[in-house]
Amino acid sequence: MTILVLAEHDNASLKLDTAKAVSAAVAIGGDVHVLVAGSDCAAAVTAAQALTGVSKVLVADNAVYQAQLAENLSQLVVNLAGDYEHIISAASSVGKDTLPRVAALLDVAQISEVIEVVSTDTFVRPVYAGSALATVQSLDAVKVLTVRTSAFDAATNDGSAEAVMVDFVATAAAEFVSQTLTESERPELGSAGVIVSGGRGMGSGENFAILEALADKLTAAVGASRAAVDAGFVPNDLQVGQTGKIVAPDLYIAVGISGAIQHLAGMKDSKVIVAINKDPEAPIFQVADYGLEADLFEAIPELTNLL
Amino acid sequence: MKVLVPVKRVVDANVKVRVNADNTNVDTANLKMALNPFCEIAVEEAVRLKEAGSVTEIVVVTIGAKNAQEQLRTSMALGADRAIHVLTDDELVPLSIAKILKAVQEKEQAELVIFGKQSIDGDNNQTGQMLAALTNMPQATFASELTLTADSAEVTREIDGGLQTIKMPLPAVVTVDLRLNEPRYASLPNIMKAKRKPLETLSIDDLGVSLKAHQTIIKVTPPAERKAGIMVNSVAELVEKLKNEAKVI
């Protein structure tokens, strides 16, 4: 059995998501190949070759894959699909964009956001914002899966896979226009060990400065609830929840967040949850390991000082 | 230009669902149902495009049981012109839904298909991408901004780490994200008017679509309960617990 993992990268570096998707592939068992499709992506290829458990890295290095558009990426994967029983990617924005297209072209269903591998054809995935876990058996010849990276540990880096060039060049009707990435020196939300998140209770974007000060003390990433994003306090790529990022850090500190179902869906698998809220009835306290009923504008600076 | 908007009836976003007693599915009997929030945003966008003069007709389509007509009426009260209901009592995987929508699209020849990015019940995030693949249309997923010209669409997408803008020729598929717009409420006169708007009912056979089985749900279980937490009385106590009890800082 051979498994193809679509690498997540920005041409210059391989994202940790790939190492986690490789872990899911290793859990299924078999020969694991990683496809790195991009433009001038040699550094990402080298990083992929080092992932433990990977036996081959397929390299499609061409300007057409620069922006990793779903249209040409899916044609590339389908072109390679004949050799594989499983096609996997992280449930990242590229994976979620591309893999359903691959699945439909192969006339197979996709299983999204897998959190557990039961056997080679059976997987567990959350539904209804994580209110239930469905164990799903695939009846298709090729299993197309996206995996929830917060549910898998990253593969380590002592492999030495061979790299093989792929010549297939696919075209896309869509064209890349521009990209704006949020600049941040803090760890990425998806891979941070500690996350400090703010909600509507923060009151304004300026007030996030006190969370950032706390985050810097803890080397934490900063997250947010949908309310904080909708109010314009922070950019939307910081949103944690059912439709934002799904995270599972060692420590998640929810500040001024009430704890709606949709937010809990994104963080309730964190190892330790701390809630700081002035409303003792806030639902967030029901999932928190440690709750503090307090005014965040007093509690957060005090917490920062004590660390 | 004609726009096709596929919509879905789902359990209301504010309702907490529970797994049924025999662990075969979630228990949705007697729960409040609603239009999937992302579908609402898709309908709203189509209506705004029509108000701006770049769209002439909005057709909404749903695939599901008889009562899904309520959500088609809601969509028409929000501004859609007519509705298509593909009647089936089966729960279909996104690929099967996409195949049915392909047949509807071939019938309607819409220049633009606007979807929600995911339904809040299945959380699949697949159907729009799959329709685009089956019809060989370009796609722009997770849209937070959409600009139309006569023969192209420019779309700003929410991606991990920021925003990306792409441009694609029509016909095309767009799936919408939360930030695209703020959906309006249906007014009472518009709810009354929507009752008289055309609603066509079709069967999967009428559309000439043949489907196959792709998955078996083996069981549905509740997620592990977290063990009850404690309330601390001060910031100092919190720091002490995190250091010495939880050992996370």
> Which A-chain residues 251-290 have CB contacts (< 8 A) with chain B?
251, 261-262, 268, 271-274, 285, 287-290
pLDDT digits (tens, 9 = 90+) for A186-229: 999 988 999 999 999 999 999 999 999 999 999 999 999 999 99
Q: Do A226 and B178 touch (CB under 8 A)?
A: yes
**Could you tell me if B21 lies within 8 Å of chain A, comparing CB atoms?**
no
Average confidence score pLDDT of chain B: 97
In chain A, what residues touch B11 (CB-CB under 8 Å)? 128
3-state secondary structure chain A: CEEEEECCECCCCECHHHHHHHHHHHHHCCEEEEEEEECCCHHHHHHHHCCCCEEEEEEEECHHHCCCCHHHHHHHHHHHHHHCCEEEEECCHHHHHHHHHHHHHCCCCEEEEECEECCCCEEEEEECCCCEEEEEEECCCCEEEEECHHHCCCCCCCCCCEEEECCCCCCCCCEEEEEEECCCCCCCHHHCCEEEEECHHHCCCCCHHHHHHHHHHCCCEEEECHHHHHCCCCCHHHEECCCCECCCCCEEEEECCCCCHHHHCCCCCCCEEEEEECCCCCHHHHCCCEEEECCHHHHHHHHHHHC
- Residue of A16, A290, A302 to mutate, interface with B, max B Cβ within 10 Å: A290
> At residue B33, does pLDDT exceed 90?
yes
pLDDT at A183: 86
**How far is the C-alpha of B37 from the C-alpha of B53, rounded, in Å?**
25
- Is the per-residue pLDDT at B137 higher than 90? yes
pLDDT for position B219: 97
A51 token code pair:
């992932």
- Nearby residues of B231 by Cβ (< 8 Å), 6 or more positions away: A285, A290, A291, A292, A293
Nearest residue on chain A to B226, alpha-carbon basis: A287
Per-residue pLDDT for A300 more than 90?
Answer: yes
Q: Is the pLDDT at B227 greater than 90, yes or no?
A: no
Query: Does residue A184 surpass a pLDDT of 90?
Result: no
**Cβ distance of B218 and A122 shorter than 8 Å:** yes
| Contact call for A128 and B94, based on CB within 8 A | no
Q: What are phi and psi of A43, to 5 degrees?
A: -65, -40
State the smallest CA–CA distance between residue A251 and chain B in angstroms: 7
- Closest CB to B226 among A105, A109, A268: A268
Complex ipTM more than 0.90, yes or no? yes
Interface check for B169 against chain A (CB to CB < 8 A): the answer is: yes
Q: What pLDDT is recorded for position B209?
A: 97
Q: If you count residue pairs, one on A and one on B, with CB atoms under 8 Å apart, how many are there?
A: 251
**Does residue A141 sit at the B interface (CB-CB below 8 Å)?**
no
Q: CB-CB: which of A128, A139, A251 is closest to B26? A: A128
Write down the pLDDT at residue A72: 96
A131, B222: Cβ pair inside 8 Å? yes
**Nearest chain B CA: its distance from A107 CA (Å):** 8
Of B166, B220, B229, the CB nearest to A69: B166
Q: Is B189 on the interface with A (CB under 8 A)?
A: no
B contacts of A247 (beta carbons < 8 Å): none
A-proximal residues of B, 208-247, CB under 8 Å? 213-223, 226, 229-236, 238-239, 241-242, 246
Mean of pLDDT over chain A:
96
Picking from A112, A179, A292, the nearest residue to B232 by CB comes out as A292
Spell out which residues of chain A touch residue B166, defining contact as CB-CB under 8 Å: 67, 69, 174-177
Name which of A101, A136, A274 is nearest B129 (Cβ-Cβ): A101
CA–CA separation, A270 and B229 (whole Å): 13
pLDDT tens sequence across B112-128: 999 999 999 999 999 99
Say how far apart CA A242 and CA A113 lie, in whole Å. 11
Closest chain A residue by Cα to residue B181: A230
Predicted pLDDT at A138: 98
> B229 vs A289: CB contact, 8 Å cut-off?
yes
What's the distance, Cα to Cα, between the start and end of chain A in Å? 50
Q: Read off the pLDDT of residues A20-63 as tens digits, 9 standing for 90 and up.
A: 999 999 999 999 999 999 999 999 999 999 999 999 999 999 99
